[in-house]
Amino acid sequence: MALSQSGQLDAPTIMRIGAARLTAGLDRMPRLDLDSHRDVFGPLPRLSGADLIALAEQVDLRGQGGAAFPFARKVKAVLDSAEAMDCPTIVVVNGTEGEPGSVKDKMLMIRSPYLVLSGAALAAEAIGAEEIIVGVAGNELANRSVEAAIAAEPGLRKLARVVQVPERFISGESGALVRGINGKRPVPPGRKVLASDSGVDDLPTLLSNASTFAQLAVLALLGPERFAAVGTVEEPGTVLLSVGGSAGQPAVVEVPTGTPLAAVLDICLAPAGDGVLVGGYHGMWLPAETAYAVPVSRAGLEAVGGTLGSGIVLPLGDGTCPLGEVSRIASYLAGESAGQCGPCKLGLPAIARALAALVDGSGGIDALDVARRSAAAVTGRGACAHPDGVTRFVLSALDVFTEDLAAHVFHSSCGRPVRGVLPLPDGPEVQAQKRLVVDWTRCRGHGLCAHLVPEVIHLDAQGYPVMLNIPVPEWLEKDAQQAVEMCPALALRLADAKPTRERRAPVPIPAPTLRTGLVGGASGARGQLTAG
């Protein structure tokens, strides 16, 4: 998702098993402009709110962002709130996709933006929304592609706009995105507020991620019966999987639900090795033998202790230390919290420190006990879902990687390097962050820094600081600066997290030919959208 040396659009590779639906037309064209979108998909039907609810209920359409909430219930909740408040509604497309490893929404926004926008326009007309807002973060190509698509269609120009929020793991949480659109700090609100009750500008808001609106467009085009011609009876249709990790050919793969995960791993040349992470960094680890046997579906993965989540599949392979990889991600997740509650501010760093001690051999069985106890103390107590997601990720790893864990506990090491198989962000916002660094020629072990910023510094047995390997979170910047200024030995400083890299100038996306009317024609595609 960068620019290739030739200056061409370098979007994620696309693969398919079976029907081409969400990826229709992308085998022949790098990006569907308005003309090519209409040639492949045709115009969508016009639906009332009741029609939209009935359509989604017939196939049990679920959100594709991780929680798998029934789409029909969201629509009904928004309509009920709007009726009770006698007010207009808003549609929000969540295109932030802040989780490392997930690229399916970015792929759609880069290569098939009108599929996402037409689904949003269909929903907006059905519920009487006065505005469509596309929330984005980070990826310039995806953002510019959506902006160009909106600018090229007169109806969308009047109705839709793009809002950018910081590229953070938590920015895509629904409450955080709504806060960001409303001009507030884009973090989870700390208490459960349904967007359907009070979202953008305190209006009832229909909020789903980009691939959910793309699925809605495909459903409206095909109709329930043709849509259900592939997949399982309980979960019809296709899903998009972001496959990375040890994959020799990382890709966004479109598959009918029920497809064996082994088939997906095979076409991506992705050895499972020690295990496969499904559902992303709030997801679960599966042993290799389980991963090769499980079908791709919510029910199939839940039956073996996994989760489909947002469709992230990260096989680990054989050449890296599993516990080291988990420790890297746990540290990253500890730094990505909103810092609003104790479980995030202190609990997640405690888990990350314990895992780091296990990896470097300094912790032993005591560190394992701390990791498990800290995870148990955090679970169910956070102001948002982030702590629960992190503990789910960590505890499933401790259950799956038992041999590697035993090697670290009893022999201090498994003998394998940490190769960084699991992805972490490396964008400009990450490069701009600071880290706390100790000048060991000056440090005298006064311990004041650990008192001021216990979230990232604790003291070893000799009273010297041990730093958690994360950039200083935004919410901790003032405390970190105070620790630097108050260090009696002047041994602490803030340094760049990573060296700044040269960034290429963006290549403009050609504007599509002006045409109107994504919604309002007869249903059905022009023969290029495959039903089965």
- DSSP string computed for 245-289: TT-SS-EEEEEETT-BHHHHHHHTT---BT-EEESGGGSEEE-HH
The DSSP code sequence of 37-70 is: HHHHH-PBPP--HHHHHHHHHHTT-B-SSSS--B
Please name which of 247, 99, 262 lies closest in space to residue 176, comparing C-alpha atoms: 99
CATH of the structural domain 33-227, one choice from 3.40.920.10, 3.40.30.10, 3.40.50.720, 3.40.50.11540: 3.40.50.11540
pLDDT in tens, 495-518: 987 643 333 333 344 333 333 367
Residue with tokens 């019966």: 225
* Predicted local distance difference test score (pLDDT) of residue 338: 86
Backbone angles phi, psi at 344, to 5 degrees: -80, -45
Task: Name 6's Cβ contacts closer than 8 Å, sequence gap at least 6.
Answer: none
Show the CA angle centred on residue 174, arms to residues 173 and 176, nearest 5°: 65
Query: Taking the model in full, what pTM does it have?
Result: 0.90
Token pair of 404 as six digits: 């590697």
Which of 231, 233, 240, 169 lies closest to 210 in space, CA to CA?
240
Three-state DSSP at 208 gives strand
Phi and psi at residue 312, in whole multiples of 5°? -90, 130
Which string of DSSP letters, residue by residue, matches 337-366?
A: S---SHIIIIIHHHHHHHHHHHHHTSSHHH
CATH class of 238-315: alpha beta
Q: Tell me how far CA of residue 158 lies from CA of 130, 133, 180, 288, 521, in angstroms.
A: 10, 12, 22, 50, 20
The span from the CA of 356 to the CA of 424, in Å, is 17
pLDDT of residue 272: 95
> 334: closest CA among 342, 323, 345, 322?
345
Cα 200 from Cα 182, distance rounded (Å): 6
3-state SS class at 18 = coil
Instruction: Report the alpha-carbon distance of residue 44 to residue 379 in Å, rounded.
Output: 44
Per-residue pLDDT of the chain (532 residues; tens, 9 = 90+): 333 333 334 578 999 999 899 999 999 999 999 999 999 999 999 999 999 999 999 999 999 887 889 999 999 999 999 999 999 999 999 999 988 999 999 999 999 999 999 999 999 999 999 999 999 998 789 999 999 999 999 999 999 999 999 888 888 899 999 999 999 999 888 778 899 999 999 999 999 999 999 999 999 999 999 999 999 999 999 999 999 999 999 999 999 999 999 999 999 999 999 999 999 999 999 999 999 999 999 999 999 999 999 999 999 999 999 999 999 999 999 999 888 888 888 899 999 999 999 999 888 899 999 999 999 998 888 888 899 999 999 999 999 999 999 999 999 999 999 999 999 987 667 777 899 999 999 999 999 999 999 989 989 889 999 988 889 988 899 999 999 999 999 999 999 876 433 333 333 443 333 333 677 754 444 446 766 6
Count of Cβ atoms closer than 10 Å to residue 424 Cβ: 13
Q: Name the DSSP class of 295.
A: B
Which tokens in the block code for residue 427?
Answer: 């964008």
Q: Are 43 and 521 in contact (CB under 8 A)?
A: yes
Q: Is 424 helix (H, G, I), strand (E, B) or coil?
A: coil
Q: Which two tokens stand for residue 193?
A: 């507020």
Residues 6+ apart with CB under 8 A from 115: 22, 32, 37, 41, 108, 214, 217, 218
- Contact between 47 and 217 under an 8 Å Cβ cutoff? The reply is no
Cα angle 254, 260, 262; round to 5 = 95
Closest CA to 362 of 420, 433, 396, 413: 413
Candidates 1.10.940.10, 3.10.129.10, 3.30.565.10, 3.30.70.20; CATH matching 428-496: 3.30.70.20
Q: Cα(440)–Cα(364) distance, rounded to whole angstroms?
A: 26
**Fold classification of 322-411 (topology level):** de novo design (two linked rop proteins) (1.20.1440)
Expressed in angstroms, the distance from the first to the final Cα of the chain is: 29
Task: Quote the CA–CA distance of 343 and 336 in Å, as a whole number.
Answer: 13
| DSSP annotation of 504 | P
pLDDT computed for residue 42 by the predictor: 93
Q: Are the C-beta atoms of residues 21 and 28 closer than 8 Å to each other?
A: no
Domain ranges of the chain: 33-227, 238-315, 322-411, 428-496
**186-195 long-range contacts, Cβ below 8 Å, gap at least 24?**
187/338, 187/340, 188/338, 188/340, 188/383, 188/384, 188/385, 188/386, 190/338, 190/340, 190/341, 190/383, 190/384, 191/383, 194/77, 195/92
